């Protein structure tokens, strides 16, 4: 591994020094016997504890129907931690100390009486903050959110106002369209303020996604270029090398548009294009994201026909392995029109981005798994080198690689060494791993800690959710009743359907594949 570069440590500005520490609290996980707890939540909490980031006093309570004791649940979690912890091996002494804070409460989330058992358990911890400061993590079906929240409230554990603090953490999907998202948000806020609701999109917890704002607003040389005067177009790619696998039933309901575009991709678009917030306070940042989403030009059915492409994979080969088509996957209809790929061209109706096309694409069974934002700059004037080279003179670009191989690439033209006058594109590469010599933390480590502290910056506000659904609903309305065309099918292991190439060709553009991981 390359040695970390520390060119001037005296210039490090740690903004977290002024952040308030996490207070003593209890975290209650509803649906605690599910995969999310074992694969993500407990490993994240263990790592935070190991890194001395947890509150000085805390409790973790699992609430689920299965009959378990505290010790049997701790034993299950230890087995899972050995498999899913990002730091291995798990340190026995650290685990033993951490596990003393883990408890189990058997209960049915539909039975109000069982919440009394939960209230008694929290009270038995003996310290007022461990009962009054509570983070309720709803790792359940969204259809159960309202019932769980009402029962927590009736057990005297959730209040809009009063002593201590209570917060509710929920996972996506936040509805399946605007109407259902609006209804779900009403359920979430029946017994709590919007400020108490923390909607998790794990994508926002990724270190490189957080770095987008730092890159933009702490570097004057790049921010001056971040507008319609310098930028030709922007491409955002979130590609997945795997197919839907055993998630066919879910995908038949969701599709790529709901699964990826409505949340992850629109969130990244907002961070890349939003105006500078007036401060680093959570609401200032979230205000600007909402303003940006509301500035996206509305799509009519005719716009959808011209600016949105859906696709579906058929049988192909990925890394030398034969892969089935989507319609041959388990729990998928044999004549399904559900999209496993979507590409769209959006415009933003504001001063900064007027006329600049933004191309977004995501799909299953593509050649590599990668997330990348590529900002393509305008061509140089048609004189000197551009006059001689024409289209062979590469356009400058900045690529923000979000995963894997996290980093930032600056692409520009340089002279090839030698006696000839030859020009070719070269890359200047910043790598997180090479520069900082550290493994980037898992998203849930940061997100859980922020929820305990009460910082909502990395969580999604109600109006963000509903604005994103307005965009997605307009696209689905344009698709309504239309079957996939032949140009919208693609072979597994390729970069998507021919129709997606046509989409960019309209503006004289081509897709740029993310740099392969090295």
Report residue 316's pLDDT band, with 50, 70 and 90 as the boundaries.
very high
Identify any residues that bridge with 413 across adjacent strands, giving them in sequence order. 425
Q: What is the pLDDT of residue 34?
A: 87
CA-to-CA dists, residue 197 to 112, 143, 165, 185, 460, angstroms: 21, 16, 12, 9, 9
What pLDDT, on the 0 to 100 scale, is given for residue 36? 92
Average of per-residue pLDDT across 61-75: 94
Cβ neighbours for 361, distance < 8 A, ≥ 6 positions apart: 235, 236, 237, 238, 239, 341, 342, 343, 344, 496, 500, 511
Query: In this model, does residue 323 exceed pLDDT 90?
Result: yes
Burial class (CB in 10 A: 0-12, 13-18, 19+), 263: buried
User: Does residue 358 have a pLDDT over 60?
Assistant: yes
How many C-beta neighbours within 10 Å does residue 33 have? 17
Q: Which phi and psi angles does 197 have, rounded to 5°? A: -100, 125
DSSP string across 128-154: HHHHHSEEEEE-S-GGGHHHHHHHHHH
Domains of the chain: 17-171 (3.40.50.720), 204-505 (3.30.360.10)
**Has residue 186 got a pLDDT over 50?**
yes
Q: What integer is the mean pLDDT of 118-123?
A: 96
92 has a pLDDT exceeding 70: yes
Cβ 56 vs Cβ 99: under 8 Å: no
- 224-263 pLDDT tens trace: 889 999 999 999 999 999 999 888 888 998 899 999 999 8
**Would you place residue 220 in the very low, low, confident or very high pLDDT band (cuts 50, 70, 90)?**
confident
Q: Which of 5-9, 294-298, 410-414, 508-512 has the lowest mean pLDDT?
A: 5-9
Residue with tokens 């959110």, as numbered in its chain? 145
The predicted pLDDT at position 415 comes to 57
Residue 489: pLDDT band (50, 70, 90) is very high
Length of the chain in terms of residues written: 518
Q: Which of 393-397, 408-412, 422-426, 467-471 has the highest mean pLDDT?
A: 467-471
Q: What is the mean pLDDT of the chain?
A: 88
Residue 375 has pLDDT above 70, yes or no: yes
pLDDT 10s digits, 26-47 = 999 999 988 899 999 999 999 9
Q: How many Å apart are CA 77 and CA 358, to the nearest integer?
A: 44
Active-site positions read 264
With cut-offs at 50, 70 and 90, classify the pLDDT of residue 67. Answer: very high
Gap between the Cα atoms of 301 and 474, Å rounded: 7
Q: Residue 412's pLDDT is what?
A: 62
Whether the pLDDT of residue 393 is over 60: the answer is no
Per-residue pLDDT at 4 exceeds 60: no
pLDDT at 404: 84
pLDDT band at 516 (very low <50, low <70, confident <90, very high): low
Choose between 381 and 304: higher pLDDT.
304
Lowest mean pLDDT segment, chosen from 72-76, 200-204, 337-341, 367-371: 200-204
Summarised one tens digit per residue, pLDDT across range 144-177 is 999 999 999 999 999 988 789 999 999 888 889 9
| pLDDT in the model for residue 385 | 43
What number is the average pLDDT over the span 384-388?
47
pLDDT at 194 over 80: yes
Least confident of 143-152, 176-185, 306-315, 384-393: 384-393
pLDDT higher than threshold 80 for residue 426: no
pLDDT at 382 over 80: no
Three-point CA angle 45, 49, 51, nearest 5° = 115
In the chain, % of residues over pLDDT 70: 88
């Amino acid at each position: 591994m390359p040695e970390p570069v520390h060119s001037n440590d005296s210039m490090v500005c740690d903004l977290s020094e002024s952040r308030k520490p996490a207070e003593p609290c209890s975290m209650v996980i509803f649906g605690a016997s599910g995969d999310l707890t074992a694969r993500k939540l407990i490993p994240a909490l263990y790592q935070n504890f190991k890194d001395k980031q947890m509150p000085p006093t805390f409790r973790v309570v699992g609430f689920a129907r299965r009959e378990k004791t505290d010790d049997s649940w701790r034993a299950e979690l230890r087995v899972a931690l050995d498999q899913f912890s990002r730091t291995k091996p798990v340190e026995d002494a650290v685990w033993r100390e951490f596990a003393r804070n883990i408890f189990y409460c058997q209960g049915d989330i539909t039975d109000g009486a069982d919440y009394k058992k939960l209230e008694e358990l929290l009270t038995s911890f003996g310290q007022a903050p461990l009962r009054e400061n509570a983070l309720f993590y709803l790792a359940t079906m969204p259809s159960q959110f309202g019932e769980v929240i009402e029962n927590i409230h009736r057990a005297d554990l959730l209040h809009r106002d009063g002593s201590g603090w209570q917060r509710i953490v929920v996972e996506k999907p936040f509805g399946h369209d605007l109407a259902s998202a609006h209804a779900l948000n009403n359920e979430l806020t029946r017994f709590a303020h919007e400020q108490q609701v923390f909607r998790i999109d794990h994508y926002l917890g990724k270190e490189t996604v957080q770095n987008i704002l730092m890159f933009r607003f702490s570097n004057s040389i790049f921010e001056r270029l971040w507008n319609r005067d310098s930028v030709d177009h922007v491409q955002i790619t979130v590609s997945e090398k795997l197919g839907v696998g055993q998630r066919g039933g879910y995908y038949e309901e969701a599709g790529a548009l709901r699964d990826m575009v409505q949340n992850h991709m629109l969130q990244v678009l907002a961070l890349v294009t939003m105006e500078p917030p007036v401060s680093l306070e959570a609401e200032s940042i979230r205000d600007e994201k909402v303003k940006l989403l509301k500035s996206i030009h509305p799509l009519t059915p005719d716009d959808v026909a011209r600016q949105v492409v859906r696709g579906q994979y058929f049988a192909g080969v990925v890394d030398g392995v034969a892969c089935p088509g989507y319609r041959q996957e388990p729990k998928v209809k044999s004549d399904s029109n559900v999209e496993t790929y979507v590409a769209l061209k959006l415009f933003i109706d504001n001063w900064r981005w007027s006329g600049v096309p933004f191309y977004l694409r995501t799909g299953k069974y593509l050649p590599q798994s990668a997330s990348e934002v590529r900002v393509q700059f305008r061509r140089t004037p048609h004189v000197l080198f551009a006059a001689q080279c024409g289209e062979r003179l590469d356009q400058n670009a900045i690529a923000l690689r979000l995963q894997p191989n996290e980093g930032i690439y600056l692409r520009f033209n340089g002279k090839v060494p030698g006696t000839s006058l030859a020009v070719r594109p070269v890359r200047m590469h910043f790598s997180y791993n090479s520069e900082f010599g550290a493994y980037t933390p898992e998203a849930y480590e940061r997100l859980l800690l922020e929820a305990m502290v009460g910082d909502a910056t990395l969580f999604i506000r109600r109006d963000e959710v509903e604005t994103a659904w307005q965009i997605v609903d307009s696209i689905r309305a344009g698709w309504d009743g239309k079957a996939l065309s032949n140009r919208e099918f693609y072979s597994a292991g390729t970069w998507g359907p021919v129709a997606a190439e046509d989409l960019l060709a309209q503006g004289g553009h081509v897709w740029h594949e993310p740099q392969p991981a090295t």
